[in-house]
Amino acid sequence: MANKFDLNDDSVAVVIGSGAGGGTLATELALKGVKVVCLEAGGRHEIEDFINDEWASFGQLAWTDMRMTSGSWRVSKNFPNLPAWIVKSVGGSTVHWAGASIRFQEHEFKTRTVYGEVKGANLLDWPVTLKEMEPWYAKAEDRMGVTRTNGIPGLPGNNNYKVLEAGAKKLGYKEVHTGRMAINSQPRDGRGACQQIGFCFQGCKSGAKWSTLYAEIPKGEKTGNLEVRTNCHVYKIEHDNSGKVTGVVYFDKDGKSQRQKARLVAVAGNSIESPRLLLLSASGKYPKGLANSSDQVGRNYMRHMTGSVYATFANPVRMWRGTTMAGIVQDESIHDPKRGFVGGYEMETLSLGIPFMAAFLDPGSWGREFTTALDAYEYMAGMWLVGEDMPQASNRVTLHGKVKDKHGLPVPNVNFDDHANDLAMRDHAYERGVAIYEAAGATRVFPTAPYPSTHNLGTCRMSKRPEDGVVNAYGRTHDIKNLFVSDGSQFTTGGAENPTLTIVALALRQADHIVGLMTKREI
Amino acid sequence: MEQILNFHQPQRRTFIQTSVAASVSLAVFGLVNQSEAWALEVKALSPSEAKTMLQLCRDIYPHDRIGDEFYAVAVKGIDSKAQKDSKFKKQLTDGLKDLDARAQKGFKKAYVNVGWEIERNKVLQQIENTAFFQSIRGDLVVSLYNQEGVWPVFGYEGESASKGGYINRGFNDLKWL
């Protein structure tokens, strides 16, 4: 099938990646009349292709290209070649996300100011404030159909939520509800209401959950301005002598190298692949990689303080029935250093099926300690703890010195160590999670170590001063005027909240900014 | 998938079609009797090795309400892999030999004849950090638990979309709180 836009058409915008950042940006630019070529490394799996089966779905959707890990984090020990569980398919991780759509809090945009200096942490204020983000958050919430906004009712709570709610309320927690979710509680935007299928992580087969795959990209394609090319892996961004980006080279579905010229390039490959690409694009003029005069490309990798708590009860719960993230306790998301750490965390319900529970409840464990836990699966409730982890310069994505991928390119290595603040926060969160479940009558509790990261942030961070980061307040790289970053790697700090809503809000704002620059002929 | 769960790096990735393999294997033999469970088709392992492997698999992930036929599916998968990979086969046969040697040393019996699980566990604790043990365990975590046939033992209901999800099938039917 011939390309819609010519490879030599240098008037197109090239967007790399089709997820929350790339998919939203590509669509919004197209809606505004800009010609866009969106290059997606993965295939295109639509709603009818999704599989309600954890391992089969993982094989279909997950990014499993070889990756390496190092550092003291437990993910490196348990899953040395799977630092992240993200999606390689049109829609990116918006295909498998749980739908939680919460705004950052005001202080989370200025942690260096509010938390002060935290030893060993590379804290920095964002170059944008909550006030500036508010109109874009509002646009994103309307776009995505977030419950509890825009007159959209909250979703009903499933059994797993009922347990969380009962325990949390007994302890006196106040901010307990079924969440602000980008999942239709009633039909909206041509998509149906949630059927409580319970396989959110495997792609929403009712389409109730927002995803760029079916809620954004088709709208962009309908304008005639958006071309999505699948199985196209970009391996280098090219520039001219002045340093301006001129296009990208990628391996197409047949493994052939192709060059697409571009007026501008936006990188949105998620926070491991985006810095990898900038580093792989090193040249004579940019020996440290593109947009890397600050040496911050790949650094400050954050994955949120995470962990889970599962608990068994004397009566059945059947937590697998219904939405995976069915509710939340937000009281601990505040900044209250009296607890022994800066920043806060959210507590959100979580459920896994038997296949994944066996793999992730306690990786490496065997024998009766483990199997008696699984035997009580029907009586089990679960929650996921997600909080602000500290950016550290040494937590970083680099090009591996030895291991190469199937194209002969160095694979990324993710190096990570927990900061003392992360450990203190996690311990507190485990204790509170256990307390909630015990208040609800738990007979046995299981604090569970972090999984391969589903939230990956910070590796091309925003900064006011070029020497502190990679991009400015609009995701435009400090070094190269027509090179942008559009995914979660822009995050200066991680906040306590799930990142997707902020990524979408930033993408909408960035699209608006890019069109302004194009109109003024600045790019 | 089992490669992702192994603790040794780096490895070539292979994805096993466990659910397909499982259903084919169950069709091959309809045996429930424990004494015949290893009459299943093993080619790389000897019948005696298969018997030891079966007990080892159950001891790694003991579920008293899961019949031998499901552990046997896992053993058959391991045997198929050993048929294609001579290095892996050697790791298996060496590991099983070592297992029996340790059982003899501690209990004067072959591993399968050590009567109490708690005693067999003492042998396993000696080898739990070996590549042999970890590779069996890593395989089993998918090959055992990804069999649809074992899910009812845990109450797990599996695929849901074609049944209309759980909105009318008890997603919020909890009454005891």
User: In this predicted structure, what is the pLDDT of residue B40?
Assistant: 66
Task: Report the SS3 class of residue A15.
Answer: strand
Q: Is A358 on the interface with B (CB under 8 A)?
A: yes
How near does any CA of chain B get to the CA of A325, in Å? 13
Is pLDDT at B11 greater than 50 in this prediction?
no
Longest dimension (CA), chain A: 70
Compare B15 and A102 and report the one with higher pLDDT. Answer: A102
Is pLDDT at A391 greater than 60 in this prediction?
yes
User: In this predicted structure, what is the pLDDT of residue A2?
Assistant: 84
Q: Which residues contact A423 (CB under 8 A, 6 or more apart)?
A: none
Q: Which of A:443-472 have CB within 8 Å of B?
A: none
Quick: pLDDT tens for A428-438.
999 999 999 99
Helix crossing, A420-439 with A159-170: angle to 10°? Answer: 100
Is pLDDT at B29 greater than 50 in this prediction?
no
User: In this predicted structure, what is the pLDDT of residue B33?
Assistant: 44
User: In this predicted structure, what is the pLDDT of residue B5?
Assistant: 56
CA distance A397 to A416: 9
- CB contacts of B19 in chain A (<8 Å) are 53, 55-56
Nearest CA in chain A to B166: A196
Q: Report, as an integer, the average pLDDT of A303-320.
A: 98
pTM value > 0.90: yes
User: In this predicted structure, what is the pLDDT of residue B22?
Assistant: 40
Helix H segments across A150-216?
159-170, 212-215
**Percent above pLDDT 70 for chain A:** 100
User: In this predicted structure, what is the pLDDT of residue A171?
Assistant: 98
Q: What is the mean pLDDT of chain A?
A: 98
Quick: pLDDT tens for A224-235.
999 999 999 999
Nearest CA in chain B to A77: B7
Chains A, B: CB contacts under 8 A, how many? 150
Binned at pLDDT 50, 70 and 90, residue B4 comes out as low
Rg (CA), chain B: 18
The residue among A55, A194, A361, A403 with the most chain B CBs within 10 A of its CB, best to mutate, is: A55
Binned at pLDDT 50, 70 and 90, residue B16 comes out as very low
- CB contacts of B169 in chain A (<8 Å) are 321
Task: Report the SS3 class of residue A412.
Answer: strand
Q: Taking a C-beta distance cutoff of 8 angstroms, is the pair A278, A32 a contact?
A: no
Q: Which of A:166-185 have CB within 8 Å of B?
A: 166
How near does any CA of chain A get to the CA of B152, in Å? 10
CA distance A461 to A443: 44
Q: Please answer yes or no on whether A157 and B172 come within 8 Å at the CB atom.
A: yes
Binned at pLDDT 50, 70 and 90, residue A404 comes out as very high
Tell me which long-range contacts B54-57 makes (C-beta under 8 A, separation of at least 24).
B55/B111, B55/B112, B55/B120, B56/B96, B56/B99, B56/B111, B56/B124, B56/B136, B57/B136, B57/B140, B57/B144
User: In this predicted structure, what is the pLDDT of residue B21?
Assistant: 39
Nearest CA in chain A to B5: A79
Q: Report, as an integer, the average pLDDT of A10-32.
A: 98
Q: Please answer yes or no on whether B161 and A197 come within 8 Å at the CB atom.
A: yes
> Other C-beta atoms within 10 Å of A187: how many?
11
Q: Please answer yes or no on whether B15 and A59 come within 8 Å at the CB atom.
A: yes
Q: Which residues contact A338 (CB under 8 A, 6 or more apart)?
A: none
CA distance A231 to A256: 11
- CB contacts of B62 in chain A (<8 Å) are 367-368, 371
How near does any CA of chain B get to the CA of A192, in Å? 13
Is pLDDT at B15 greater than 60 in this prediction?
no
CA distance A250 to A268: 15
- CB contacts of A315 in chain B (<8 Å) are 174, 176
Residue recorded with tokens 């040395």 = A80
Is pLDDT at B25 greater than 70 in this prediction?
no
CA distance A421 to A427: 10
Is pLDDT at B3 greater than 90 in this prediction?
no
Q: Which residues contact B65 (CB under 8 A, 6 or more apart)?
A: A375, B153
CA distance A206 to A161: 21
Residue A183's nearest CA partner among B165, B95, B158, B60 is: B165
Quick: pLDDT tens for A348-384.
999 999 999 999 999 999 999 999 999 999 999 999 9
| Structure token digits, residue A250 | 């990628």
**Percent above pLDDT 90 for chain A:** 99
Binned at pLDDT 50, 70 and 90, residue B36 comes out as low
- CB contacts of A56 in chain B (<8 Å) are 19
The residue among B23, B56, B127, B177 with the most chain A CBs within 10 A of its CB, best to mutate, is: B177
Nearest CA in chain A to B161: A197
Query: What ipTM did this prediction achieve?
Result: 0.94
Q: Please answer yes or no on whether A321 and B62 come within 8 Å at the CB atom.
A: no
Is pLDDT at B38 greater than 60 in this prediction?
no
- CB contacts of B1 in chain A (<8 Å) are 55, 58-59
| Structure token digits, residue A444 | 């046995």
Q: Please answer yes or no on whether B7 and A364 come within 8 Å at the CB atom.
A: yes
- CB contacts of B66 in chain A (<8 Å) are none
